[in-house]
Every structure is written in C-alpha cells, then in structure tokens.
Structure 1
Amino acid sequence: MTLTIGRPKPDCTARETSARTRRESLLPRAGHQGPGITHPNGEETGYGRSYPLNFHKSLPHDVDGNVHGPSYEAMVAALTDHREGVLETLPVGANRGTGAGGVPSGSEIDPPRYTVTDREQTSGKPLGYRKLTSPLTGHVYDTQGGDAGAFAIAPAPLVASDELAAEMAELYVMALCRDATFSEIAAGTAPASITTLVGALDSMPWFDGSYVPTTPAEEARFQRRGILASAGDLFRGSTPGSKAGPWASQYLVIGNTNTGATFEKPNGTPGQGNSAQPSFPGVRSNISIEDGFILYGAQIIDQRSIVAREGRDYMTNWAAWIDCQNGVDFNNFDRFRDKRRYLTTPRDIATYVHYDALYQAYLNAALIMLADSGSFPKARGLPESKSRTRSAFASFGGPHLLSAVTEVATRALKAVWRQKWMHHRRARPEVVAALLTLHEHDPLRIADPNCRAAIAALRPKIPQVILDAVAAHNTAQNALAGAILQDPALPAAQAADLPAIADAANFLLPMAFPEGSPTHPAYGAGHATVAGACVTILKAYFEMFNADGSERAWPYQVFAPVQKEAEGGELKPVAPQPVLTVQGELDKLAANISIARNMAGVHYFTDYFESVRLGERIAVSIIEEQLGMYDEPVELNFTSFDGDSVTVRALGATAALSVEDESGTPLTPEAWYGRYSN
C-alpha cells in the first residue's frame, strides 16, 4: 500500500547526490572574488619603533603616547601568525595592574594611572583595563559568500596629505557641532561660531574642489564626496541619495501605519490613535507613520532613543588621553538625558551607534518595508512577484529577508576585522589629534623625526580658526564638574613627566564616548561594513526601480523631528517636500550610521567610504551563492554605492553576476570585486 500520492523529485539518495553536486558547483564561485591583495599605506614601517600612526590602544605607552615597541611587535606577530598563546602574554587587560601574565607591576609595561574618577573615590575600587577586541577574527573561514581574505580596501591616506587634513578638520568641526540640530546645521542657522567653522572647512582644497587627486582611490573618494557648496552639504555621504533631503534617513525616524485591523475600545466604540495625545506616546495600538513606531509583530519598536546629555565631551586633557591609550576602562561613564527623543543632533546619533545591535537600523528598515508591500514591493525578479497563485514566505518572504539582512553582518565583520587587524592597523583619530597637540606643545616630544616632520606638514593644512575653537572647547570641558582630570594626588615625579599642555595648544579631539575609541584599529569600520552589507540586501530584495528603469520615489511624506524637549519630540512634514527615492534613503541610512561613528570621534571619512563598499561586495557574494541553490529563474538588481548597475541572475543550478559602471561599460565580476584592492 502506498502512503502518499506523490513524493518530491529527487528524494532520498537521489536528493543526497543532487545536493552534493549543487554544493560542489559553488566552489568556483567561492573563489572568483580574487586574492584580496591589500596594500597598507607604509606608515607602520616609516616612523621607527614608536609606531605613532598605528593602532596600539590598551598596550602600554610612555607619557608622550609612544607605545612600548616590543609589545606592539609581539602583538602584530601574534595577530598575523595566529598565535593565541602569545596574545595571552601581552600587557593588556587582566594582565595589567595585577602582576598577572608575567607583567611586573609598576614596570614600563605597566604604566601608572594619571587620572582619578569620582566613582573610584566613592567606591574605593580602581577601574580595570580594556582588552583587545576580537583580534583573531580575521583568520576565521566561512561557509557562505567570498572568503574574508578575498576582499581588500585601498591604502589609508597618509598623515601629511590634504585628504587626512580634511578628515581631521571635519572631525573637529563634527565634535564642535554635536549639540546643534541636523536641521540647524543644514539650514546654516546654527550658532555663528559653527557658521565660521563651516567657512573654514570650505577653504580647504579637499572641500573647495581645487585638490588634484594622485591615485584612483583618492580620485574616487574626492569625486564622490563632493564639494562643500553650502552648510547643507556638511557631514553627508558619498552617494546622491545620501545628499538629498534631510540629513537623517526616513528609516531612522518614521514608523508604520497599523492597517491590519480595526481598533476598538472595550465597549466596542472606535479606538483613538496616538494623535489624540495620550500621556505616553505609543500606548494606543492604532499607530501611524508619523508616530514613529515600527511594527515588530504585535509589539512595536520606538524610534525615540536614549541619548547622551548635551555639552559633555571626554578625553579633553592629556592625563585622560594617556590613561585611555593605556587601556584604562572608562566605559559606562556616560551621562544620559532623562527622556528619550528622536535622533535630533550629532550627539544623539553618536549615542545610537555607541550601543546599537550592529544590524539594528537595517532590521528596522526591513520591518518598515515589509509592513507596507504596496509602497515597498519585493523585487519583480523574484518568483512570487510574478505569480498569480503563490505568495512568498519561507523563501523570499519576511522570514527569509529578516534572516538575510542580519546574517550578512557576521560575514562583513570577519572581512573588515581581517583588514583592520591583519593589514592596515590604522591609528584612531584621537591619536592624530594628540600628535598635533604634542607638536604644538613641544615637537621634540614626538620621538621619531620623520613623524615629527609629517605632523609639521599636516599642522598648517588645518585652519587655525578650527584649532582655536577646539582648544577653547577643551578648556571649557576641563572646567566642568565631574570632568575626568589628572589625579591631584599623583606623585610629583609622575606629574612632572606629563607634558604640560597649554590651553591654547590643546588640540585633543573631544570624544563623545568616555572611553574614546574601541580597542580595535580604525580601518575599515565595522559599523560601515555592516551598513554596506545589510543595505545591499535590502536594495536587492526590494524593488528599487519603476518599469521604465527610473528609481522608485519615496512613497510617503518626508518627516523630520521637531520640539526636541517635548516628550521625545514629534515628527512634522518637511517644507518644502524634497524629492527622495527608496534607494536613496537606504544609501543615506548606511551613510548616517557610518558617519555617526565619525561624529563620535572614533572614525574617519575614509573608514566609512571604503567600508560600505567592502560590505556591499560581501553581500553580493552571498547573494550569488544563495541564488545558485534555486531551480527557478531569479533576478535581483540595484545600483551600487559607486553608481554601478549590479544584477545577479539565477537560471537554475547556477547564478551569474553582471555589472555595468556608470557609463554603461560592462565590468567582469573579478574587476568589480577587486576595484578597491588596487
């Protein structure tokens, strides 16, 4: 007796054989991204054993910020040779301040503390030391998409370059603008001091359009960043969409309209919406786009965020800076506002990217789009999009998309962690700012003469008005109650060793986070690589184009937050309404989250620029492999961050990537994947 009228074909042994064949067919595709040849900028070998322009935060330093050379070299050897045992002997983390791990207390590899905090004085418990963050992740292999070693990013700008000067000047201005609203900055209505700073930026060759790039990578970054024609161009990304409309992407402010049912009170009368001003916004389930609540099943995600208190920056004196470099753990010294609000200022979004789950913003964007299929249809090249009888769920539906937009994050992190730890080891911006400060105080305290000369060349490229504003800001910060300052009980000999930086020479970069940058190198950026990967998934699986090939317009009114003090603020339509596109707002979302890390002071513009493109390539390599598992035709297409037309087609048991650049010239997949590795 048969038990069923039909079985899948193939099945059992035949299916086992078919699955093996299908997986084996992916092997050639798994390696066609190229060898991932990476070229660091050469500064690691250019400035002696103090390695001043490389990342060594949490290793021991002398009072001038010079790393203990043998410790840095041991770290690099352990990283590149995958010697986890050697990492356990480094003077880092729990090996510091305790005599553990072969690190003698009080030795040159266990430098003293130079600050004291109110918390320590109250509790009597000293702060601990930070550990290196996932230093060996770049060695990990994966089973899906291109290998972490198959991708590369271009050399970072040299410290004396006009590009690096522009990056540092922009970071200083970002720090000084942290408490102006995005709308004030874009409209040029921020305080006069900020307008002056913007004018100073506009005088720099990299921003006024007069710079002449000397490498293809420089050319790409220079052209796509664009000139500063007005305050509205400040702090924008590198794509057309990131430059249009309000600074913040609509995906960071709007919510959904709950159209799935009618809403009734217990007595059966119609329920009210949140526009009826309940005491707590969101208590009513009849939500609308302008309420700022995203549907997450029967729960909601509120776009209002916990934000840091305005007017408080960190690492604005040398004692605090050197303690941070030596790994003292100042985490969780943040001061938050007592009320949540929409992301309104650079400091707000810096707080967001301090604590976000790395794919959080893109998961939210996916939920916004999935809840309104009429406004955000799936890609027309998906099987169910053409079907009269099938709807998408297990494949190409909500569960598939939500998994895809999150799973690429881990692959992105492996690839960028390989770049940052195994190849570039670029110093964080806080270090370049300290070198500028030290040079202003006493150039001879910069140990290496070649580095001294490079900083001397960088210094005049940054407008004096910006440096003066930073110095004044730092002086004011150091006078605030509760500022982390030099320990007044520091032994006289140790206090005398510290450079006595004059207020006017204090060009330290004011940091949004008490601990400053993370304990991993700057280049590339984890947030930006994840942004590039996750946004690419969204652009591929949702339809970005009309039937005539034009980009789909943004389907809603465009909103911006107002009344930042009133119960989290509210969203109001922007006047006049700008012309936005769905794809443009996704590109802007990637730029917002990436550049928010710059606003915190922990990354440079190049970290964002190169890393979103790295993430994009990782996502495409995963899409290629996944589509090769489908028996029916599938086609996904979108516009890359560089303006390329990218299409991935599956024709049953195989998938093909085709790319045309902005001029319509076809590119081989290998050339596209390797664009930033040469």
Structure 2
Amino acid sequence: MQADPSSDQTSEKHEPGKTAKQKRTTVNSLGSKRFFGSGSSRRLFLGRAGLFTAASVVAGVLGSPVSHNKGGDIVQAKDIPGRFSKKIRFNYDRFVDKAYRVRVEAARRQQSIPIPPHPTNGDEERYSNKIGSDSRGLPHDQRGEVNLEAYDSLTKALTSQNPNDFEKIILGGTRKLVNPQGPLAISLEGINAAQIAVPPPPALASAERAAEAVELYWQALLRDVAYSEFEDNTANAKVLAAVEDLNKLSAFYGPKQNGLVTPQTLFRGSVTYLDESDRSGKTAKHVIPPGVLDGPYISQLLLQNIAWGTQSVSALIRTAVAGKDFLTNFDEWLTVQNGGSSGKSINYDPTNRYIVTVRDLGEYAHIGGPTYLGASFILNSIGVPLNPGNPYVNSKTQTGSNATFALGYLQGLLNLATSRAIRASYWQKYYVHRILRPEAYGGLVYNNLVNNTKYPINSELLNSKALADTFSTFGTYLLPQAYPEGAPTHSSYTGGAAATAGVNVTLLKAFFDEDFVIPNPVVPDPNDPTKLIPYSGPSLTVGGELNKLATNYAIGRGNGGIHWRTDGSAALALGEEVAISILKDERLTFNEDFNGFTFTKFDGTKITV
C-alpha cells in the first residue's frame, strides 16, 4: 500500500531492512567522507568550527537549553525533564521522516506524468538553408542566410549537451547566446520541461504566420497611437485600416467580436492551448481569457502605485520618444543578425507618464522588472481578500505568515516560479522548435521584394495594406523594431517573458479572491498622460485584470517587434501549467487543513489544485 506522506507511517519502501534513523546515519556518514575527502575539506571544517563557536557564544548569552554533560554528549531540548510536557514533546525523527516521504511522493507524482508528443512545424528539416529557424548571433551571408557550419555547431551542442560543445558554438559577432544550458537544469519544484507540451508554431509559409506578421507590421505603424483611440467609436484612420486589413486574413486567431476584429479587440491578448481531442499534439486551441476584453486596454495593475513597504513606487514610466524605430536599414539589420550592434540607442522622454501608447507598452515590456511582485503589493494594499480557500480565512485563532498562506509566502513562490517557467520556455526554444524571430522574417520579405529571392512568404502578407503602408512610412519592407538591439539571442517560440507572466498571474489568482471587484478603477487622462481620471464602465475584477496584465505583457513584447502572437499566447498556457505543478507540490507540504487552491484558468475553466 502506498504510504500517505502526510500520515505518521514510516515508509521503508526504498531501503528495506533499514530504519529511517539508520538511513539518515548512512547519509550523514557518506556526507562526512565526501566533505573531508575533497580539496576544500580543511577550509570547510574550519568554517564549520567558526560557525559552531559563534553559535555557542550566542547560545550562552541567550541561555539556550543546549549544554554538555560529563560524557560530552549534547542534551537536546526534547530530553530535558520538565521543559516540555509529554503532550507537546516534538518528535524530531518523525518530522524528518515525514519530510523525506513528502519529497519522495512529490517526485513520484511528477515522474508519473507521461511525456507528451512534441511535434514541430517541420521548418528546420524543410529548408536546408535554415531560413525558417532562428540563427541570430551566428554568422550570415550578405542576404542574411546563416553559415551552415555555425548552425551545425549550435545544434551539435544542443544535441550533445556537453558544456564544452556550447563553448565551441561559432558566433558572428560579440553578442552571446542567452542561456542555452539553462533549460537543462533540473527543477526540484514542479513539472519537468519535457512533460509540458505546446502546439507547434505556425510554419514559415503558412497563412497563419503571414497573419501574425500583418499584425506586427500594424503594431509598428500604430506605435505612437494612444490606446484611447482603440474604441469601437474611433475615428482614427490608422486603427480602422488595421482592423479592415486583419479582417481580410484567412488565419488570424486574435480576439474578435462576432467573428470580426474590431477597434476594441485590436491587439488584445489571447492564450493558445493544445486541443486535447487531438492526441498528436499538433492542433492548437485559441481562447480569450476572462476579462481581457473588458474595460480599458491596460490592466489596472499597471496603473496603480505600488505600496512597497514604507515606500510608494509610482506607476509612471520612462517612455521612448515617438517616431524613432530601428533596423529599417538592411545593413544595420544584417549587422544585428550577425550578433553585432546597431550602434544606436533609444531616446527617452524627460517626463515620465502612464502607459498610453503601443510604444509605451512595448518599452515597459522591453525593460522588465518586478511586475508581479508589484501586483501582489497592489492587490494587498487595495484590500483584495485572500482566496476563499485559504485555510486562515475562517480561522478563529491563527493567521498565515511568510511560512505559509500569507503575502510573503506568495512572494517567495513568485520569485521561484519565474525561473522555473523560464526553464520550461527556453527548453521549447532551444531543444524543440528553434523558430525564427519576426525581425528575421522581415529580412526574408525584404529580399523577396528588393532582391527578387523566392522565399516562401505567404501572399496574404505580400498583398496586405500593412506591408504597403510600412514601405510608404518607413521606406523599407523590413519589420521596424522599437529596440535598437532587436530581439534577444534565442529563438522566438515560446516567449520567456510571457511564460513568466503566465506562471506569476496563475499564482496570484490562486492566492487572492479573483472575483473581487477592483475599487476606484482609473485610466490615463487622454489630455495629460501624467494624470489619471476615473474609469466608468463595466466592473473590473481581480481575475480579469490579472489576465489582462498577463496578456498586456505578452503582447507588449510584440509591440517592440520581437515576438509573434503565438509566442506569447502559447507561453501563457505553458506558464500556467508550471504554476499548477508547483502548487501541487506545495500542497503536499502543508500541515493546515486545506482543500486546495481553486481558481479560474486562462480558458475560463475552474480548477482546484
């Protein structure tokens, strides 16, 4: 019979014939031999001696019950007669044994999750010149096609996973690849990256990839348009042209109302799951998370000041000046593809303001920061109740703390979960898909129209108003970038920043009451973006605004020109899955009477973990 890790039974399943205490003695003795057999044993011993001496002094000052008897044995607090009654004497061995069983059970449960299929879009095999694969940072020829020896050096390292092979990757410039070995780290919390599946991204020649490119070209064209213009009653000609152009596409899967893109749905976020009815893992299911289409475009959690302890952190941000974009010149573009620098930089507005334009959100997503830690402080400071399932909500005698179920506990999980989501996302980037970035796709478009190459770009992009207007506005067919360095030097799918959004927002929904209505919502003043004015409209809930926060961040990366829509939408679902797996592990550890974390997923379904 399987032992319950929360029971007081002792499990001897893994080492028959040995008690838990004997097993611990074996481990301790092995540990001692390992420490003193190493080259650093003397330093380690002296360091420990110093710690013990310091601890002894402190113990003497504080009157610790720890002392020595004549035989030199240490007398522990539990052994001192009269210090504790028999009813509250703590069983040290049982507690340590329980910790062991919980850890084993968590590992067993994670290992039992089957490895799903990981189909790709086939582009890496389809094109021998690797035009559908990410190769930025490696050397390229004058058209921007990668040096195949360099590409092989990358795939060799990814295949062998030998640290020495990663040091032999052939680079084209000074820019280094971003953490290709990071996904190989073994996470002790939550699911293994290989056990999470995402749908294959759109293929290079597909109508869906062209549709996402049309959206990105429009985001570049509308970078300096205020979100207050993204309303169904708008008179903004560019917004209306973008809506009309997107509605002509055969495979655009962004948010729609009654089957059509509208000014209100333009550039709003979505989430992409695997369609569970297709066991091949090839079919995607696109959803709009609850609350994402409600109210203003920007989440309330990006407009509220953060009560950071005794400080207040303003929601005003540093913004890039309007009208300055990058990588619109082919030579500059090629230099960046090769891992060089454009030699340019962003000019910033001297006056901080709230996020009001497409460029503003792109710049917010560019720099990053403690977005979700800040959100936890905001929700706490505006009086959002804890999730009703929190065991301390109805306790008559106790509260939570940083140990369990209070704000500090959540914030510890947020920090931990971020790195775990990045590992899962980067595993998809490096070890499965290796998809080209939008800026590289723009190079293929440019070469077709300027140099008469025959790259397989779908006609829906080539015939779009977005591309025509880009040429008339910027004088190029390249995709204008908001960042002088272009995209980070790892592949596009899935988006790492969006994965962190997915994991953190899921944890926040598990901790706070997602049905709570945000009090006193606001919007930036369209006449003065350094000020806020009251929002009037449908109620905005915590869950909806958290979902909006996640999609704002994911789409914001696209606003900069560096990510496809599906990079972000699939990564949000991936991050959600990482969060769920961490919560499952955490639940095993609690002593509290707890029925699980209940919250609403991005697809609108309720789940209890």
**For residues 322 and 136 of structure 1, do their structure 2 counterparts lie closer, same or farther at Cα, with a shift above 3 Å needed?**
same
Whether 1:536 aligns to 2:496 is: no
**For residues 571 and 77 of structure 1, do their structure 2 counterparts lie closer, same or farther at Cα, with a shift above 3 Å needed?**
same
> Taking every aligned residue pair, what percent have the same amino acid on both sides?
31
CA distance in 1, matches of 2:543, 2:114: 28
1:4 is aligned to 84
Give the match's secondary structure for 1:295. Answer: strand
Does the aligned pair in 1 maintain the 2:385–2:516 contact within 8 Å? no
| Bigger RCO (CA 8 Å, 6+ sep) | 1
1:320 is aligned to 332
Whether 1:304 aligns to 2:316 is: yes
1:440 is aligned to 449
Does the aligned pair in 2 maintain the 1:241–1:588 contact within 8 Å? yes
Residue 578 (structure 1) shift: 2.3
Q: Which residue of the other structure, out of 349, 362, 365, is the alignment partner of 1:350? A: 362
Aligned residue type for 1:541:
F
**For residues 72 and 601 of structure 1, do their structure 2 counterparts lie closer, same or farther at Cα, with a shift above 3 Å needed?**
same
1:396 is aligned to 405
Does the aligned pair in 2 maintain the 1:186–1:247 contact within 8 Å? no
Write out per-residue CA displacement over residues 126-170 of structure 1, whole angstroms, 9 at most, x where no aligned residue: xxx210000111111011111122112111111222211110000
CA distance in 2, matches of 1:77, 1:225: 47
1:478 is aligned to none
2:300 is aligned to 250
**For residues 331 and 252 of structure 1, do their structure 2 counterparts lie closer, same or farther at Cα, with a shift above 3 Å needed?**
farther
Write out per-residue CA displacement over residues 566-599 of structure 1, whole angstroms, 9 at most, x where no aligned residue: 5x61110124x22322211111100000100011
CA distance in 2, matches of 1:331, 1:625: 47
**For residues 14 and 569 of structure 1, do their structure 2 counterparts lie closer, same or farther at Cα, with a shift above 3 Å needed?**
same
Alignment of 1:412-451 (within 5 A): 412-444=421-453
Residue 368 (structure 1) shift: 0.9
Does the aligned pair in 2 maintain the 1:510–1:601 contact within 8 Å? yes
Residue 461 (structure 1) shift: 4.4
Whether 1:18 aligns to 2:98 is: yes
CA distance in 2, matches of 1:592, 1:296: 22
Q: Which residue of the other structure, out of 232, 235, 238, is the alignment partner of 2:267? A: 235
**For residues 185 and 224 of structure 1, do their structure 2 counterparts lie closer, same or farther at Cα, with a shift above 3 Å needed?**
closer
Does the aligned pair in 1 maintain the 2:505–2:547 contact within 8 Å? yes
Whether 1:643 aligns to 2:604 is: yes
Whether 1:518 aligns to 2:488 is: yes
CA distance in 2, matches of 1:437, 1:330: 18
Give the match's secondary structure for 1:26. Answer: helix
2:167 is aligned to 88
Whether 1:612 aligns to 2:572 is: yes
- Runs of at least 5 residues in structure 2 that lack an aligned partner in the other structure: 1-80, 271-288
Alignment of 1:32-431 (within 5 A): 32-48=112-128, 50-92=129-171, 96=173, 129-187=174-232, 189=234, 191-207=236-252, 227-238=259-270, 239-254=289-304, 293-330=305-342, 333-357=345-369, 360-373=370-383, 376-394=384-402, 395-431=404-440
Write out per-residue CA displacement over residues 448-489 of structure 1, whole angstroms, 9 at most, x where no aligned residue: xxxx3x22xx034454321111012222xxxxxxxxxxxxxx
Does the aligned pair in 1 maintain the 2:294–2:540 contact within 8 Å? yes
Does the aligned pair in 1 maintain the 2:239–2:263 contact within 8 Å? no
**For residues 71 and 188 of structure 1, do their structure 2 counterparts lie closer, same or farther at Cα, with a shift above 3 Å needed?**
farther
Aligned residue type for 2:135:
H
Does the aligned pair in 2 maintain the 1:59–1:67 contact within 8 Å? yes
Write out per-residue CA displacement over residues 175-205 of structure 1, whole angstroms, 9 at most, x where no aligned residue: 1111011111235536423422321122222
Whether 1:570 aligns to 2:543 is: no
Higher-Rg member (1/2): 2
Residue 411 (structure 1) shift: 0.3
Give the match's secondary structure for 1:514. Answer: coil
CA distance in 1, matches of 2:220, 2:233: 17
Give the match's secondary structure for 2:176. Answer: coil
Give the match's secondary structure for 2:523. Answer: strand
CA distance in 2, matches of 1:18, 1:460: 61
CA distance in 1, matches of 2:425, 2:557: 16
Does the aligned pair in 1 maintain the 2:291–2:545 contact within 8 Å? yes
Aligned residue type for 1:195:
L
Give the match's secondary structure for 2:533. Answer: strand
Give the match's secondary structure for 2:243. Answer: helix
Write out per-residue CA displacement over residues 366-412 of structure 1, whole angstroms, 9 at most, x where no aligned residue: 10111233xx1111212101211212213111210111122110000
CA distance in 2, matches of 1:536, 1:331: 39
Residue 424 (structure 1) shift: 0.3
**For residues 227 and 309 of structure 1, do their structure 2 counterparts lie closer, same or farther at Cα, with a shift above 3 Å needed?**
farther
**For residues 233 and 618 of structure 1, do their structure 2 counterparts lie closer, same or farther at Cα, with a shift above 3 Å needed?**
same
**For residues 524 and 474 of structure 1, do their structure 2 counterparts lie closer, same or farther at Cα, with a shift above 3 Å needed?**
same
Give the match's secondary structure for 1:300. Answer: strand
Q: Which residue of the other structure, out of 550, 553, 557, is the alignment partner of 2:520? A: 557
Q: How many residues align?
A: 509
CA distance in 2, matches of 1:225, 1:90: 48
1:260 is aligned to none
**For residues 227 and 609 of structure 1, do their structure 2 counterparts lie closer, same or farther at Cα, with a shift above 3 Å needed?**
farther
Residue 222 (structure 1) shift: 6.8
Give the match's secondary structure for 1:646. Answer: strand
Does the aligned pair in 1 maintain the 2:494–2:568 contact within 8 Å? yes
CA distance in 1, matches of 2:362, 2:509: 25
Whether 1:465 aligns to 2:465 is: yes
Aligned residue type for 1:636:
F
Residue 553 (structure 1) shift: 4.6
Residue 225 (structure 1) shift: 9.5
Write out per-residue CA displacement over residues 237-296 of structure 1, whole angstroms, 9 at most, x where no aligned residue: 121311111100111102xxxxxxxxxxxxxxxxxxxxxxxxxxxxxxxxxxxxxx2211
**For residues 384 and 553 of structure 1, do their structure 2 counterparts lie closer, same or farther at Cα, with a shift above 3 Å needed?**
closer
1:275 is aligned to none
Give the match's secondary structure for 1:569. Answer: strand
CA distance in 1, matches of 2:139, 2:103: 48
Give the match's secondary structure for 2:599. Answer: strand
- Runs of at least 5 residues in structure 1 that lack an aligned partner in the other structure: 97-128, 208-220, 255-292, 447-451, 476-505, 545-551, 649-678
Does the aligned pair in 1 maintain the 2:255–2:268 contact within 8 Å? no
Give the match's secondary structure for 2:378. Answer: helix
Residue 561 (structure 1) shift: 0.5
CA distance in 1, matches of 2:219, 2:135: 25
CA distance in 1, matches of 2:320, 2:421: 28
Give the aligned CA root-mean-square deviation in angstroms: 2.0
Does the aligned pair in 2 maintain the 1:182–1:346 contact within 8 Å? yes
